[in-house]
A and B are shown apart, each in its own frame.
Chain A
Amino acid sequence: MAHLEEDIERCFEGGWSDGLPVVPPYARLVDPMVERMGWKPTDVAGELADLGVEVRAEQLGAAAVMAGCKLEYAPVLRAVSEALLDPRFNLPGVEVTTGGAAALVIVSGPVVERLGFEHGANALGANARANATVGRFAAMVRYFCGRMGGALEAHGTIGHPGRLSFCIAEHPTTVWGPFHTQLGLPAEASAVTVMATEGPSSINNHYGMTGEAILETIADGIGQLGSTNYYWRGGGYVIVLPPQHMALVSRDYTRAQARRFLYERGVRLTDELLRLGRLPREPMASAQVVPGTLRSPVADEADLTFLESGKDGGKFSAVIPGWVANRPTIKQVRGLEEAR
């Protein structure tokens, strides 16, 4: 036991930590994890071409062990790894941006119940091993692999707590259909969606009794003056709907109708954005800044996605802004049959 404590300290001292104590990545723990993830240790799991970095499977296995993940999470971790290393995710950019973005992992489909993800109480910050460790694994991969071996520095101005762990599971039974059906996967699939995001904003509405009232409140959260996406319009938003808000909204709107409502109502006057310095005086032509018009922080309403999660009882939704230079990357979770 003494050497375990000392090895934990060695990891701290050696910079092999996200700021929290880690499970030391002993080979006897890492090797079975890598095998369960479907790799050999020296396999190249992915490449960060911008950094001249190859990520080997054993490095991902080490991060999984250090994060405290169970072996049975391996199929999910494999899918998360593939998503993080997909060029569309832009992992190095996520690590160093002044925007302080975190890697959000959304888990949806039968895998949620299969592996014990919490999708009810405090869904956005659940004290459940699956949520906490899978989220931490994604954050560690971002941190360990996105810095070019330590040559790069992060420049996040304020960041947010999701930089340590940010994993949300969707209810296994949904009203509008699973989250991943919005990104092209079939309803019966299990999936992980990884996207770089800012922190969540709580949207409180306890007295509204119509879907319109709830959506109007959410639209205000999307269109708030400080939304980073007003200029670049690249990140999109995830809207988290708990059961009681979902009951009101779905009574009056389909998912497509709700999306259209938010796209049209979550806007500001371009002139106001210019006056207050939310847009530059000399915008790029590609930003399509047109004075005298209303401006949405999303370029396409398809960039607004809905996630059904959270506990019954309170009436709080959440708006999670996506980071401007990143696209949601979705991967199907395979190999669950061997997860037990």
Chain B
Amino acid sequence: MKRPSETIASCDASCELLISPIPRPRVQALRVSARPQRRRVRFLDTRKPNSLAILRQAGELLRARGIEVEPEIRIKDDPSRPFDAGVLDWIAREEGLILCGVAD
């Protein structure tokens, strides 16, 4: 996905900078692990329509294949807003794989 330019300069001789209408986030960089440290799956439901049913079925399929799956599915409080700091902290501390579902 192409991101909007941070600066645009007008093309006349003065090279006037245009004022950007786009605020940028001030967030700290995240470190992402490429591999889980533990062979375990946990589910995080976003409360979108049908997502819980999909995650439960996914859990059954994984257990049938011998994967350890945490029985409790964590559920997001508000589907219309981003994950809060508590959930992000939970995700960060998890040693296994978190599967997050899903769109409508």
Binding site for B on A (CB under 8 A): 3, 6-7, 10-11, 13-16, 24-27, 30, 48, 50-56, 58-63, 65-66, 90, 92-93, 97-98, 140, 144-145, 148-151, 153, 155, 157, 280, 282, 324-326
Find A7's partner among B18, B78, B81 (CB 8 Å cutoff): B18
Find B16's partner among A26, A53, A98, A151 (CB 8 Å cutoff): A26
Find B82's partner among A50, A66, A280, A326 (CB 8 Å cutoff): A50
Contacts A26-B10, A150-B1; is A51 near B80 (CB within 8 Å)?
A: no
- Tell me whether B18 and A325 are in contact (CB under 8 A): no
Closest chain B residue to A13, Cβ basis: B5
Q: How far does the Cβ of B11 sit from chain A's closest Cβ, in whole Å?
A: 5
Q: How far is the CA of A90 from the CA of B82 in the complex (A)?
A: 10
Q: How many residues of B contact A (CB 8 A)?
A: 34
Q: How far is the CA of A282 from the CA of B104 in the complex (A)?
A: 15
Find A90's partner among B8, B20, B80 (CB 8 Å cutoff): B80
- Tell me whether B11 and A145 are in contact (CB under 8 A): no
Q: Contacts of B49 on A, CB cut-off 8 Å? A: 280
Q: Contacts of A92 on B, CB cut-off 8 Å? A: 81-82
Tell me the chain B residues, 36-83 only, with Cβ under 8 Å from chain A: 48-50, 52-53, 78-82
Question: Given A51-B25, A53-B23, A93-B81, 5 other A-B contacts at CB below 8 A?
Answer: A24-B10, A24-B18, A63-B21, A98-B103, A155-B103
Q: How far is the CA of A11 from the CA of B8 in the complex (A)?
A: 7
Contacts A15-B3, A16-B4, A30-B19; is A149 near B103 (CB within 8 Å)?
A: no
A-B contact count (CB 8 A): 120
Q: How far is the CA of A7 from the CA of B12 in the complex (A)?
A: 9
Q: How far does the Cβ of A228 sit from chain B's closest Cβ, in whole Å?
A: 11
- Tell me whether B79 and A325 are in contact (CB under 8 A): yes
Q: List 10 tightest A-B contacts by C-beta distance, closest first.
A: A325-B80, A15-B4, A150-B3, A14-B5, A62-B21, A93-B80, A149-B24, A62-B19, A52-B27, A3-B12
Find A153's partner among B1, B16, B18, B24 (CB 8 Å cutoff): B1
Q: Contacts of A11 on B, CB cut-off 8 Å? A: 8, 18
Closest chain A residue to B1, Cβ basis: A153
- Tell me whether A149 and B80 are in contact (CB under 8 A): no
